[in-house]
Amino acid sequence: MYQRSIIVLGILIVFAFACKHTTISPTTNPNGNNGGGGGNGGSSTNCSPDTVYFTNDILPIMISNCTMSGCHNAADHKEGVILTDYNNIMATSDVEPGNPSSSDLYKVLIKTDPDKIMPRPPMSPLTAAQIAMVKKWIEQGAKNNSCTSCDTSGEMKFAANVQPILQANCTGCHSASSPGGGINLSDYPGVSVVVNNGKLIGSITHAGGFSAMPKNGNKLSDCHISQIQKWINNGAQNN
């Protein structure tokens, strides 16, 4: 009897440690694909804080801020520029790997003339952090790279977990200055509205009856959706 109790206790301890963390599969990219392509990047299972990743960092900025109707999507391709994927970005936006100052993709972001800067008013310009990220990505070789580090363990917080996902993927179309569909996702009060009416989770999960978001882009990764869902399940606090 004593020996059997020891065995049962050992099994319980193993299960307790095995279920402590839930992380995204290393073969799945955080933005819904496996990266690669283009011959100069690829997928990494760990995100380095010193590296800017195209699929994780750059593509969401382009999709959220540059590919809305009438702009640089595959259907409209304004001025011949398409910013919906790596190959089109490299082929149509004059990116010179290693040299941001000679790359139109970067130069149009820092223009001061409202007729030349991108995104064009009344759209909000990119933040200083986003512009710096595009610059660093080009400096690092403008690679078609990605990484898959994403943790859903622990408490999900609005400022640390949810807001960065929305800023990267949604606020180009849904900001205070450009609230597409009357939706502002740039701050907690605006986000709480679409949490309470079910539109946020319905849209990012591409549920029936909801507009699939991000528009013109890949569905958010399972990991990011899980982070947002966990935050909502825990009360969607402004934390």
What does the pLDDT read at residue 40? 62
List the chain domain ranges.
42-147, 158-233
Residue type present at position 75: A
Q: Which residue has the tokens 């402590």?
A: 20
Q: What's the burial of 233, exposed, middle or buried (CB within 10 Å: 0-12/13-18/19+)?
A: exposed
Task: Judge contact between 39 and 32, C-beta under 8 A.
Answer: no
The pTM of this model reads 0.64
Q: Pick the more confident residue, 189 or 18.
A: 189
Over residues 145-181, the pLDDT tens digits come to 988 877 788 899 999 899 888 887 887 778 777 788 8
Q: Is the pLDDT of residue 110 over 50?
A: yes
